[in-house]
Amino acid sequence: MKALIFDIKRFAIHDGPGVRTTVFLKGCPLTCLWCHNPESQNGDIEICNVNKPIGDQMFITEQHIGRHITIDELMSDIEKDRIYYEESDGGVTFSGGEPMMQIDFLEKAVKRCKETDLHTAIDTSGYVPYSFFERVIPYTDLFLFDIKHVDDKRHKAFTGVDNSIILDNIKKLAECGSEIWIRIPAVPDYNATEENLEALSNFISDINAESITRIYLLPYHKLSSHKYDNLNMADKLVNIQEPTANQMKEWQRIFAPLNIKTYIKG
């Protein structure tokens, strides 16, 4: 069995506790307008043209996005940095795309990690059948769970899918006691409005608070714009401004009544 991945990032420090290896699996059921990894959405290997400087000239070169990897190959990559995980209480994070789109591989991968005593995290959009969660819960220490909008119509307009499965899944996951860090992209004029963030805060307050140990607000940025060009995809948020530091702090304050540590991740 092989997974289709598009990247493995070593020494990641924003995808869970400590120093981690983040494995990015390809394929996502959502098409968020603000996606920073548009190369993750298509569940096939893609070929795109990129501009590459060689000397003082630019050349167009073909780049393949995605490669297949076996569990043994992946584990051998992960093992290279074991000493850093042990010294920092870090581990391995499976991200995407939506890593649970490749549930058979993911289940085996988190199980192998746990068998060798590695801390495991799954970064999920939540848009999968809950039975997929049930398969990985026994081997997963932490879920990084993205929630975006409480209004179903807007959620669908911005991400391509409705939000009911996502909101149901996070409630069930919290009830079963799994540790969850909620991640909320903060995209001005789209989901980062006072109305939506207050509604999200109210939604979180109704969930089992003990399971949710952190909230991260992720400011929208434009660092990925070139990826849309390379993939011949339209960047529909080209006119949206990045939020200011003050805006982020104001939005952070909305979550204060929850008494859950809320961070701004730059």
Using CB under 6 A, list all residues that contact ligand SF4.
28, 30-32, 35, 37, 40-41, 96-98, 125
Of the pair 27, 85, the CB lying nearest ligand SF4 is at 27
145-149 contacts at long range (C-beta below 8 A, 24 or more positions apart): 145/170, 145/173, 145/180, 145/181, 145/182, 145/183, 146/182, 146/183, 146/184, 146/185, 147/182, 147/183, 147/184, 147/200, 147/203, 148/32, 148/184, 148/185, 148/191, 149/191, 149/196, 149/200
User: Tokens 């714009």 label which residue?
Assistant: 225
Of the pair 151, 250, the CB lying nearest ligand SF4 is at 151
Q: Using CA atoms, how far apart are residues 15 and 101, in angstroms rounded to an integer?
A: 19
Min dist CB 34 to ligand SF4, Å, is 7
**Nearest of 41, 66, 61 to residue 50 by alpha carbon:** 61
Min dist CB 211 to ligand SF4, Å, is 21
Of the pair 17, 96, the CB lying nearest ligand SF4 is at 96
Pairing of strands 20-25, 2-12: antiparallel
Phi, psi of 138 (to 5 degrees): -60, -20
Min dist CB 28 to ligand SF4, Å, is 3
Of the pair 19, 25, the CB lying nearest ligand SF4 is at 25
- What is the sign, positive or negative, of the torsion defined by CA atoms of 168, 218, 95, 26? positive
Beta bridge partners of 70: 2
Min dist CB 4 to ligand SF4, Å, is 14
Of the pair 52, 221, the CB lying nearest ligand SF4 is at 221
Of the pair 119, 227, the CB lying nearest ligand SF4 is at 227
